[in-house]
Chains A and B, each alone.
Chain A
Amino acid sequence: MIRVILPYHLRNMAHVDGEVELSVEQPVTQRTVLDALEARYPMLRGTIRDYVTQKRRPFLRFFACELDLSHESPDDPLPDAVANGEEPYLVVGAIAGG
């Protein structure tokens, strides 16, 4: 299972507490993880990626295994530790606004 940690407001929207666990078919990439997340929680569509371009919203970041994956290709494989569930994939709201 893939573990995903969402920011507070998205957890509220999706009515989840703590981590989300997702079953994701190979290959495990940022795109397939986010696709699976949106399939499970349709109310999150458009909140992480732009509806039209499917690009990451500019005020969000993607982290895993102490790496910033925000600017990596969405189709690159995620680290093995994420793919095997040892480490979570984090969607993080950028610190902005003071």
Chain B
Amino acid sequence: MEAGELCQQAKLYKLDKGTRMSEVRVLVGTKKGGFVLTSDGKREKWAIDGPHFAGMPIYHMKASPVDPNRIYASQTSDWFGQVLQRSDDGGKTWAPVGNKFVYEGTPGTHEWYDGTPHPWEFKRVWHLEPSLTDADTVYAGVEDAAIFKSVDGGQNWQELPGLREHSTGSRWQPGAGGLGLHTILLDPTNPKRIYIAISAAGAFRTDDGGDTWRPINKGLRSQYIPDPAAEVGHCVHRIALHPSRPDVLFMQKHWDVMRSDNAGDEWREVSGNLPTDFGFPIDVHAHEPETIYVVPIKSDSEHYPIGGQLRVYRSRTGGNEWEPLTNGLPQSDCYVNVLRDAMAVDSLDSCGIYFGTTGGQVYASPDAGDHWAAIVRDLPAVYSVEVQTLS
């Protein structure tokens, strides 16, 4: 066989391995249940399974990277409170696990919207973050803001109280959706380091596995608080990192897209030429650590795309220079929102980007954002989207 043929064979093998042999599983939490969408590596035809937990709000679903068939789901409602669901077979069947979330000690108060003291009360789990190394270990970010940890597959939950008991805790105020801890990022190179973000307290980091935490908000400026550069009080909407470079963080704040190159010690704005720098989700390309995605929307109060045109914006330069991605997305009369946990990427050779809308559509791009299509169109309002790349 000639060298060129070998090369071609290798290319075909890679294509085969990267597309046909893989499966993608998309976990979609909605206002009225959870859905599991699956496709092969081509990502053209999708099977829709659900609704699971029909009628119940599912804030977040996420699978263990250690055991991809282990999936955790946060079911929460005003009627029946918090329920944690777990699947051990890739989302085919589910069973409730532990739902006892009790703050350590006497929780005290945080600030209410008007600045008055308000008792700390557990309301719901916003975000679940399974451990990178142990399928039975999972973290939960909750409202009112705190982080809990389970080491037995979600049966029992223990607060890591050092965060809530931070000296600034009594000054934290809720965002419009509540005082929710919505982002948990585990550093793949340092098991002691975790980043979290709270609306509207800001971002925090632990370097000792969760015992102690410190605010990492230097460089953020927020005009809606008395001191725009305060240590806490910033409405951080989402933080993302690339696992190969966990000290580089990208943030979508209430307003402003921000970047840190030193694990959050300092931030600088990279909103650049975005038409608006308000938005909720932000994510990073699976293979290009400088390629990031946001969905700008009009706000403070409208929370829908400018001019009814749904556009993802991509920066290939780690911020500042942004390009609109529109191919396959509605460019008129579209007034949906994309919530903070509703964007994710797969890790196939041609990186897939996914996001869900409050209008019930889940869009996917199998080519890093160049072309989009709705893989399902009429779900309940989408709260969260997570993606698994299965080989």
- Measured CB to CB, the residues of A under 8 A from B are 7-10, 12-13, 43, 45-48, 50-52, 57-60, 93-94, 96
A residues near B99, Cβ cutoff 8 Å: 45-47, 51
CA distance A45 to B101 in the complex (A): 12
- A7, A43, A46, A96: the one contacting B81 at CB < 8 Å is A46
The complex places the Cα of A22 from the Cα of B188 at a distance, in Å, of: 50
Given contacts A13-B96, A43-B96, A45-B99, whether A50 and B55 have CB atoms under 8 Å apart is: no
Please report the C-alpha to C-alpha distance between residue A57 and residue B124 in the assembled complex, in whole angstroms: 13
Q: How far is the CA of A42 from the CA of B102 in the complex (A)?
A: 17
The bracket for how many chain B residues form the interface is 10 to 19
Contact present for A46 and B55 (CB under 8 Å)? no
Leading 10 A-B pairs by shortest Cβ distance: A43-B96, A47-B80, A59-B79, A46-B99, A93-B79, A59-B78, A51-B100, A46-B81, A47-B81, A52-B102
Question: How far is A61 from B93 in the complex, measured between Cα atoms in Å?
Answer: 30
- Cross-interface CB contact of A46 among B54, B56, B78, B82, cutoff 8 Å: B82
Q: Which residue of B lies closest to A58 (CB)?
A: B78
B119 CB to closest chain A CB (Å) equals 12
Q: Inside 8 A of B198's CB, which chain A residues have their CB?
A: none
> Which residues of chain B are near A51, meaning CB under 8 Å?
99-102
The B interface, classified by DSSP as helix, strand, loop or mixed, is loop
Task: Let me know if A57 and B96 touch, CB within 8 A.
Answer: no
Q: Could you tell me if B102 and A9 are in contact, using CB atoms closer than 8 angstroms?
A: no
Q: List 5 A-B contacts (CB under 8 A).
A: A8-B55, A46-B81, A51-B99, A57-B80, A57-B81
A61→B79 CA distance, assembly (Å): 10
Chain A residues whose CB sits within 8 angstroms of the CB of B55 once the complex forms = 8-9
Query: Given A13-B96, A43-B96, A50–B81 Cβ distance below 8 Å?
Result: yes
Q: Give the contacts of B54-101 with A (CB-CB under 8 A).
A: 54-56, 77-83, 95-96, 99-101
- 9 further contact pairs, Cβ within 8 A, besides A9-B55, A51-B99, A58-B78: A8-B55, A43-B95, A46-B82, A46-B99, A46-B100, A47-B80, A51-B101, A52-B122, A59-B78
